Structure 1
Amino acid sequence: MGQVLDRLQGKQWRREQIRKITDKVFDHFKNETGTATLRFEDVYIGVLLVYNDINKRLPGPHFDPPSKDSIRLLIQEHDINLDGEIDREEFAKLIKQITADAFCVVSQGLIVTLVAAPTIAMATKKATEGVPHVGKVVQRVPTSVYASLVTLLVVLVQHARQEF
């Protein structure tokens, strides 16, 4: 339940996740080339790796990375010192810009889950009244506890589905 609450913190959680992913990718290329900047090819491969991590780690649909042409434009836009290469901070800002839509979709999915799940819980609690043995047990559980349990179950099912 703590992980779900961490994800609900919003912008700070998103920033931390983006920074972890971008630092990991940047360090990968830094260790291979030995330089503190990335060229276009490395940036493009880095973007692909970032989108791969996003698709593996974050709940929601599959997100396609931007095209090579749009990456070239973004590099020109984010290359502050105009050397044709991207440093760590420029790379982090570039990734933050291109992943903003993905994080909005993820946030909306979490909101829908946390609003829809309690509503479903109330409907199922009412529907179980006629079920022998189960109905009596469900009716004895306080509504707030039952709604929390169903919400937690929905989040766990979504998380398990993403791991496959």
Structure 2
Amino acid sequence: MGQVLNKLRGKEWRHKQVQAICDRVFDRFKMQTGRANLTFEELYIAVLLVYNDINKRLPGPHFDPPSKDLVQSIMTDCDMNLDGEIDREEFVKFFEQLTAETLNVVSQGLIISMIVAPTVAIATKRATEGVPGVGKVVQKLPTSVYASLVTLAVMWVNSDSS
């Protein structure tokens, strides 16, 4: 549980995650094109790839990639040397701005699934005593097993609804 809390701490963890994703995507384009910078078209393809990874690997709802207009405006803000292309440092800054809200939603979903659900399960274990058939089974289960089952159920319901 401590590892989960450590990961949800905030900006430092998010920065490391964004940095790792950016390095992988930027290196992929650098190898394909042989150039050190990305044009707008390459940047937008990179955005689509990153959002595809986010939707495949991170829990939570489906995130639609941003529009080309939004990508263009953030690119303009992040292009410090005003050459119309994005280098590695500008690329990381670009994605930190672009994915800030997305990572907040994912973090909130993890907090609900990993902290709130087990707490509620433990608090409501006694409430099941009066339920015919179910109450006796729940009371025989160790609290840790019951909390884990409820947490898995919450995560399953959250993944189906997104």
TM-score, scaled to structure 2:
0.81
Change (3 A) 1:157 1:41: same
Q: Deviations over 1:53-104 (max 9, x none)?
A: 1111111001111111111111111110011110001011101101011011
CA contact (8 A) 1:117 1:154 kept: no
Matched, 1:134 2:133: no
Change (3 A) 1:40 1:136: closer
Aligned residues: 157
User: Once the 2 structures are TM-superposed, how far is the Cα of residue 7 of structure 1 from its aligned partner?
Assistant: 3.1
Secondary structure of the residue aligned to 1:62 is coil
User: Once the 2 structures are TM-superposed, how far is the Cα of residue 11 of structure 1 from its aligned partner?
Assistant: 2.4
Partner of 2:148: 149
CA contact (8 A) 1:30 1:36 kept: yes
User: Once the 2 structures are TM-superposed, how far is the Cα of residue 150 of structure 1 from its aligned partner?
Assistant: 4.2
In structure 2, what is the Cα distance between the partners aligned to 1:5 and 1:154? 20
Partner of 2:96: 96
Change (3 A) 1:133 1:21: same
User: Once the 2 structures are TM-superposed, how far is the Cα of residue 3 of structure 1 from its aligned partner?
Assistant: 5.9
CA contact (8 A) 1:37 1:88 kept: yes
Secondary structure of the residue aligned to 1:59 is coil
Secondary structure of the residue aligned to 1:99 is helix
CA contact (8 A) 2:121 2:147 kept: no
| Structure 1: tracts of 5 or more residues without a match | none
Secondary structure of the residue aligned to 1:54 is helix
Runs of 4+ in 1 over 6 A off after TM superposition: none
In structure 2, what is the Cα distance between the partners aligned to 1:23 and 1:158? 33
Secondary structure of the residue aligned to 1:116 is helix
In structure 1, what is the Cα distance between the partners aligned to 2:6 and 2:151? 14
Amino acid corresponding to residue 140 of structure 2 in structure 1: V
CA RMSD of aligned residues (A): 2.7
In structure 2, what is the Cα distance between the partners aligned to 1:5 and 1:90? 30
CA contact (8 A) 2:129 2:136 kept: no
| Structure 2: tracts of 5 or more residues without a match | none
Change (3 A) 1:45 1:136: closer
In structure 2, what is the Cα distance between the partners aligned to 1:151 and 1:99? 30
Identity in percent: 49
